[in-house]
């Protein structure tokens, strides 16, 4: 396996763990605390890093079904991070109901993209 793809795959799994910690904490506590902010931010950094490594290491075009799914998942993750930080800076730990719901939906799409990405790569071989 290409070293860049291996690094990207490992890094996206770390993003999964970080993003899961943030979103699950927010969903259970129904508030934004330091754990949510730190792990959400780390998750974004890891996901961007993973995506960069996978694009660089791939011999395919960056515009494939797998790429589209991954980019859209990254986009919803970026939007979620922006909304969570904006909500926190404006209202503190209290989370607006719409953002709480969006965060759950974004997380589900990200998990779907993570699983689908792995399956698409596995079945392509």
We report the CATH number of the domain holding residue 59 as 1.20.120
C-alpha span between 5 and 56 (Å, rounded): 8
What residues pair up with 31 in beta bridges, in sequence order? 94
pLDDT of residue 89: 98
What is the pLDDT averaged over residues 96-102?
97
**Counted domains in the chain:** 1
pTM for the model: 0.91
Number of other CB atoms surrounding residue 46 within 10 Å: 20
Percent of the chain at pLDDT above 90?
78
Is the pLDDT confidence value at 114 over 90?
yes
**What are the structure tokens assigned to 87, written together?**
């909500």
Q: Which domain holds residue 54?
A: 3-124
Q: What is the pLDDT of residues 11-32, one digit of tens each?
A: 999 999 999 999 999 999 999 9
């Amino acid at each position: 396996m290409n070293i860049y793809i291996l690094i990207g795959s490992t890094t996206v799994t770390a993003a999964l763990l970080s993003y899961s910690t943030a979103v699950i904490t927010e969903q259970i506590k129904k508030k934004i605390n330091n754990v949510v902010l730190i792990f959400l931010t780390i998750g974004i950094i890891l996901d961007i890093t993973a995506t960069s490594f996978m694009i660089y290491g791939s011999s395919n075009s960056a515009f494939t079904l797998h790429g589209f799914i991954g980019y859209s998942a990254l986009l919803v993750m970026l939007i979620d991070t922006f909304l969570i930080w904006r909500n926190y800076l404006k209202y503190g730990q209290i989370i607006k109901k719409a953002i709480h719901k969006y965060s759950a939906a974004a997380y589900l799409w990200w998990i779907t993209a993570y699983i689908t990405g792995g399956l698409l790569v596995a079945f392509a071989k």
